[in-house]
Amino acid sequence: MATKPLKDVVAVGKKYTQQSTGVWEMIRRIFAVDSNRSNGVPVKHFRNPPPGGLDPTSYDEAVTTPAADIADNPYWKRDVRRAYPTLSTVTQRDAVGLLTMGSAANPSPKLLAGEEGQKQLVAVKQEGEKGLAAYFESEKGTAVLGENGLPPMPAAFGRKSAVKYDLGPQSYEEKYPCRSFV
C-alpha cells in the first residue's frame, strides 16, 4: 500500500490559492514558465458566504442561559480567576456579645450550660441593642484598653522588628562632629 502512487494529490500551493478557470487557465499554462506553479492569490475567506447568501430563518440562536442572562449574574460571581474577599461586619450588638460571653470557639466561664445559658444569651442580645457605650458604662471592670489607655495593637504576623545598629568607635574626637564610615 505504501508503494502505491497517490492519484489525487493536490499541491499545497493550489490547495490554498485561487486558480484561473476555463480559457484563462489554458492561456496561463501556455505563457507560464512553470505551469504547475501557483499564482499566489490566496483563497478569500472574508465574507464567505456573502451577506444575504444564507436564509435568515435557518440561524438558530445558541442557548447560553443562565450565563447570557445579565439579571442576577454579576461579574464577581462568574469570575473564577480571582478570589474576591468576603466581607464581614461586626455590629455593636455582636461586639457586646463577644465581650460578655465570648465566642463559640472561646466561650466565657460566666456562660452557664443548658436553658440557663440560652437565657443568658437572650439577655446579652437585649443588652447589646443598647450599644457599646451603655455596656462600657455598666461594666467598669472590663479591660478593653491596654495599660496605657490605648486600644490593643493588631497582631503582627511575620513582621520583623527594625534592625538596631550601634555606632562603632569614632576616629575623630568628640569636639569634631564628623563620623567616618570605614
CA neighbours closer than 13 Å in the CB half-sphere of residue 92: 11
Residue 163 lies inside a defined structural domain of this protein: no
Establish if 80 belongs to a structural domain.
no
* CB 98 within 8 Å of CB 125: no
**Rounded distance, CA 46 to CA 44, Å?**
6
Name residues whose C-beta falls within 8 Å of residue 67's C-beta, 6 or more positions apart in sequence: 73, 78
How many domains does the structure of the chain reveal? Answer: 2
Confirm whether 168 is domain-assigned: no
Q: Which domain holds residue 17?
A: 8-52
Each residue's pLDDT, cut to its tens digit, for the chain (182 residues) gives 566 667 777 777 667 788 888 999 999 889 988 888 877 787 777 777 777 888 878 766 666 666 667 777 778 777 777 777 777 788 888 888 878 777 777 777 777 777 887 787 788 888 888 888 888 888 776 666 667 777 777 766 666 677 777 766 656 677 777 766 66
Q: What is the pTM of this model?
A: 0.35
